[in-house]
Copies of this chain bind each other. A is one copy, B any other.
Amino acid sequence: MPEAPLAVVLLSGGLDSTTVAAIARADGFRLLALTIDYNQRHRVELDHAAKVAAYFGVERHVVLPLDLRGFGGSALTADIDVPKGGVEPGIPVTYVPARNTIFLSVALGWAEAAGARDIFIGVNALDYSGYPDCRPAFIRSFEAMANTATKAGVEGGQFRVHTPLAEMTKADIVRAAAEFGAPLELTWSCYDPTPEGRVCGVCDSCRLRAKGFAEAGVLDPAL
């Protein structure tokens, strides 16, 4: 039997990327887990990413330091308050300029070096209401670019960016996590943990997560 193909999974340690990793594994891939340490305000998610990677027995987990704070421009990386008043329409201040472009580019570099042609990322419908780099048009555009950018692409290999959550609500994601065996008890979503290291419960990410579990009729095992 030929060895299963490798895929690079962008793993933040949150609900979405952990569910994506479970789906990639169910699709028959061996996993390379890539976590970006961009000095995010919610650094605790890095520990959760390591636990999730260990749970899945990935071939390799790379935590790549990539400090985007020097550029500013986002509440997740600069001294701008994380909003707590509820999810607003439009592009939120937690948008990090070109974040998914940067993350996918790094994933592409690792994929090419490792001989993988598949990249998984947990962008979804709720996100792309606000973040331009979560929209399907962006993902298709990135794939086209990747196939002109790389030795593997030029030589005929096709890179694919998989976004299995693209059309899902948070409730759908919670249900998919159960279906594919994602260890949600190990995940972290909060953008702005308390000094005691607990979830704040009121940032956009906490609100979306709570709503997803409520609508799926599932208790959040991480609480």
Interface residues of A (CB under 8 A from B): 62, 64-68, 70-74, 91, 95-102, 104-106, 108-110, 112-114, 132-133, 135, 137-138, 141-142, 144-146, 148-151, 153-154
CA distance A198 to B100 in the complex (A): 39
A60 to nearest B CB, angstroms? 9
Cβ of A138 and Cβ of B149 under 8 Å apart? yes
User: How would you classify the secondary structure of chain A's contact residues: helix, strand, loop or mixed?
Assistant: helix
Q: From A109, which residue of chain B is reached at the shortest CB distance?
A: B98
A145 CB contact (under 8 Å) in B64, B70, B144: B144
Q: Copy number of this protein in the oligomer?
A: 2
Identify 20 residue pairs between A and B in the complex whose beta-carbon atoms are under 8 Å apart, listed by A's number.
Answer: A62-B71, A64-B67, A65-B65, A71-B109, A71-B110, A72-B114, A73-B114, A91-B154, A97-B110, A98-B106, A101-B105, A101-B109, A102-B108, A132-B150, A132-B153, A133-B149, A135-B148, A137-B148, A141-B149, A142-B145
Among A65, A97, A106, A145, the one with the most B-chain Cβ atoms within 10 Å of its Cβ is A145
Among A73, A74, A151, the one with the most B-chain Cβ atoms within 10 Å of its Cβ is A151
CA distance A91 to B114 in the complex (A): 17
Cβ of B97 and Cβ of A113 under 8 Å apart? yes
